[in-house]
């Protein structure tokens, strides 16, 4: 089975600064999908960004971008110009290319300091 590792249980960032959350995964598959989800205190799961493994270009969504290193099996999330509303738990997730199996990391709790 695939495993997803988030080695930073907690991170903090000053408002307006940039922070990077790390994620590594273990797989023998060549095609797959990667996602970052945000979970604010409301507990709602919100998709932040997605990446297809066959695409070399890193995905970007406004202030959120990823650094996808396929050979290193690394998928980090960069949040630029951090805002108070970015404070949440962030989960990295791996989806197999076929089927509907997802594997989530253990999460990184992000605190934004005013």
Partner 1 sequence: EAQVTQNPRYLITVTGKKLTVTCSQNMNHEYMSWYRQDPGLGLRQIYYSMNVEVTDKGDVPEGYKVSRKEKRNFPLILESPSPNQTSLYFCASSSAGYRASSYEQYFGPGTRLTVT
Residues that bind partner 1 (CB under 8 A): 1, 4, 6, 9, 33, 35, 43-45, 47, 50-52, 91, 93, 95, 99-107
Minimum CB distance to partner 1, residue 104 (Å): 4
Nearer Cβ to partner 1, position 69 or 106? 106
Nearer to partner 1, 13 or 68 (CB): 68
21-24 long-range contacts, CB within 8 A, separation 24+? 21/76, 21/77, 21/78, 21/79, 21/90, 21/92, 21/108, 21/110, 22/74, 22/76, 22/108, 23/74, 23/75, 23/76, 23/77, 23/92, 23/105, 24/72, 24/73, 24/74, 24/75
């Amino acid at each position: 089975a695939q495993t997803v590792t988030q080695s930073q249980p907690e991170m903090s960032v000053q408002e307006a600064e940039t922070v990077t959350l790390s994620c590594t995964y273990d797989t023998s598959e060549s095609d797959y999908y990667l996602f970052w989800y945000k979970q604010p205190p409301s507990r709602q799961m919100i998709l932040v960004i997605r990446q297809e493994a066959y695409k070399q270009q890193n995905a970007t969504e406004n202030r959120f971008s990823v650094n996808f290193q396929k050979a290193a099996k690394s998928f980090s999330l960069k949040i630029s110009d951090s805002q108070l509303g970015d404070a949440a738990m962030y989960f990295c997730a791996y989806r197999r290319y076929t089927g509907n199996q997802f594997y989530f990391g253990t999460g990184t709790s992000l605190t934004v300091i005013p």
